[in-house]
Amino acid sequence: RAKYLIAASGIIDYLPALENMRNVYDYAGYNLHVCLICDGYEMADKNVGVFASTAGNAEVVFPLGWFTSEITLFTQGLFEVNDELGQKIQQQGYQIIETPVEQFLGEDHQMTGVELTDGRVIELEAGLISMGSKYHAQYLDTFDLEKKGGNLVTDKMARTSHPRIFAIGDLKVGLNQVVIAAADGALAATQIWRDIRRSQPPKAANTDRVLR
Ligand SMILES: Cc1cc2nc3c(=O)[nH]c(=O)nc-3n(C[C@H](O)[C@H](O)[C@H](O)COP(=O)(O)OP(=O)(O)OC[C@H]3O[C@@H](n4cnc5c(N)ncnc54)[C@H](O)[C@@H]3O)c2cc1C
């Protein structure tokens, strides 16, 4: 029965699927990052492991290279590094490790490396997970809204391709940052108010108070 809907349910990042997920949660959000834009500076000049799930999201090693030159890409055995990507990575002097990760190592939420399934230990000073995200937007599937990748396409007032459905924050195309999500909310609310206002006549003047 709602006249308008603002979808604000965000996304959740996929994490390395280890048998013991507690081990991932011990470090994720500390020095095992998920957001280059948010936390890139914390990886400056550090020995960083990038944990990717596709050749596409492995490309994050290149913008990360602005912060640090010591980068190891962990494919976790999930995808093949094609010749073009392999060459680009080699040219930058980054390492590639295809053996899956057994567990993250460290203490007090500070990850210091990984143990691989073949028993090797690789030392690291920070990590960046780049494995895509799950969009909390299944409830919108019936509307067949326009998307780019997984993100909802919106106009400058956060309106989707449906005139009465708005999407804000991480669900939509744009930068995944708190201030953007908050600003989107203000835009969507303002536009909804405008729509409602334009569909209704202004309040009738109190004729007793009209000056003659
Ligand atoms: C580890 C990490 C670090 C980050 N660091 C920064 C940073 O330093 N600076 C920065 O600006 N941004 C940072 N971000 C990004 C920032 O958190 C997001 O861009 C921002 O929170 C997006 O806001 P949102 O409202 O779109 O979604 P969210 O903040 O994710 O809020 C969505 C909410 O909807 C709820 N929800 C989901 N499905 C449903 C449903 N069906 N019904 C009801 N509720 C539902 C969720 O539980 C959640 O509470 C970081 C993100 C992560 C994961």
pLDDT tens profile 164-198? 999 999 999 999 999 999 999 999 999 999 999 99
Distance 10 CA to ligand 1 centre (A): 5
**Is the CB of 158 inside a 6 Å radius of any atom of ligand 1?**
no
Give how far Cα 76 sits from Cα of 35, 53, 58, 83, 148, Å: 19, 7, 11, 18, 27
Residue nearest to atom 39 of ligand 1 (CA): 9
- Write the residue with the smallest CA distance to atom 34 of ligand 1: 9
Amino acid 38 reads C
Q: ipTM surpassing 0.95, yes or no?
A: yes
Superfamily name and number for 17-130: FAD/NAD(P)-binding domain (3.50.50.60)
Q: How far is the CA of 59 from the centre of ligand 1 (A)?
A: 23
Question: Looking at domain 5-10+136-199, which of 1.10.3720.10, 3.50.50.60, 3.60.15.10, 2.40.110.10 is its CATH number?
Answer: 3.50.50.60
- Sign of the Cα torsion 166, 167, 173, 178 reads positive
Which atom of ligand 1 approaches the CA of 171 most closely? 26
Q: Whose CA is nearest to atom 48 of ligand 1?
A: 9
**Candidate from 5, 9, 27, 34 with most ligand 1 atoms within 8 A of CB, to mutate:** 9
Per CATH, 5-10+136-199 and 17-130 having the same topology is answered yes
The minimum-distance atom of ligand 1 relative to the CA of 136 is: 38
Q: How many angstroms separate the alpha carbon of residue 66 from the centre of ligand 1?
A: 26
Q: Are 78 and 53 in contact (CB under 8 A)?
A: yes
Enumerate the domain spans of the chain.
5-10+136-199, 17-130
Could you read off the pLDDT of 21-64 as tens digits, one per residue? 999 999 999 999 999 999 999 999 999 999 999 999 999 999 99
> 71-89, pLDDT tens digit by residue?
999 999 999 999 999 999 9
